[in-house]
Amino acid sequence: MSTNRLEAFSDGVIAIAITLLTLDLAVPNPATTGSLGDALADQWPNYAAYVVTFLTVGIIWINHHAMVHRLRQVDHTFLILNLLLLLTIGVLPFSTSLVAAYLGEQGEHVAAAVYAGSLLAMSCAFFLAQRRALVSSPELLHEGVTVEDRREILRRARGGVLPYAAAMALAPISGYATLALCGLIAGYYALPRTTNVEMG
């Protein structure tokens, strides 16, 4: 399969998942809401989770492009690993909604673990697809990609898994800390100075 349609389909799924995040922002019922300002302010975890997940998925999209750009063609195994990655991205509107609903409630620690876990699963799936592209099937690659390039890219993809494992480890302590760390990770990759740094 050429990479064009793979990109089109992946872009579609990522674009939809990133936009469905917005469904998490609920309009308070006018009939039962006292002060709309207060009701909206109470939803701040939803806004925070929206921004963090939106940026994270946006950065994954940038890295997905870089990964596919290196490929001349894709094989069945890569397609299935790419599907696995899209499956984990498809779960994010749910896990984002979950952590936003349970911050400060009973269940905060479970919700934060699920949220960090879904991001961890995504970065693992990304690492597996990246490894398939770079190691198992070098005949899929464009010629300009050297052995050093491959080693470096894989090292970074593997490194990208760690911060989400740390975020998950923070969940039993504080769900706020988990969300904050995920926000820091996204912010780090979004910074101008990290141009060309890939997120795992």
In this structure, are residues 112 and 178 in contact, taking their beta carbons and an 8 Å threshold? yes
The vertex-92 CA angle with 169 and 4, nearest 5°, equals 120
Rounded to the nearest 5°, which phi and psi values hold at 141? -85, 155
Phi and psi based region of residue 104 (left: phi greater than 0; alpha: psi -120 to 50; beta: remaining): left
Q: Is the Cβ of residue 79 or residue 147 nearer to its own copies in the bound state?
A: 79
Q: For residues 189 and 56, give the distance between their C-alpha atoms in angstroms, rounded to a whole number.
A: 9
Tell me the closest approach of the beta carbon of residue 173 to its own copies, in angstroms. 17
State the number of CA atoms in the 13 A half-sphere of 21 facing the CB.
25
Q: Is the Cβ of residue 93 or residue 147 nearer to its own copies in the bound state?
A: 93
Q: For residues 54 and 14, give the distance between their C-alpha atoms in angstroms, rounded to a whole number.
A: 10
Residues forming the site for its own copies (CB under 8 A): 1, 5, 7-9, 11-23, 25, 27, 30, 33, 35-37, 40, 50-51, 54-55, 58-59, 61-62, 65-66, 69, 75-77, 79-80, 83, 86-87, 90-91, 93-94, 97-98, 101-102, 105-107, 110-111, 114, 190, 192, 194-196
Q: Name every residue whose Cβ is closer than 8 Å to that of residue 173 and which is 6 or more positions away in sequence.
A: none
Q: Is the Cβ of residue 37 or residue 147 nearer to its own copies in the bound state?
A: 37
Tell me the closest approach of the beta carbon of residue 166 to its own copies, in angstroms. 21
Q: Is the Cβ of residue 147 or residue 193 nearer to its own copies in the bound state?
A: 193
Tell me the closest approach of the beta carbon of residue 38 to its own copies, in angstroms. 9
Tell me the closest approach of the beta carbon of residue 24 to its own copies, in angstroms. 9
Q: Is the Cβ of residue 114 or residue 170 nearer to its own copies in the bound state?
A: 114
Buried b (16+ CB within 10 A) or exposed e, 119-144: bbbbbbbbbbbbbbbbeebeebbeee
Tell me the closest approach of the beta carbon of residue 147 to its own copies, in angstroms. 24
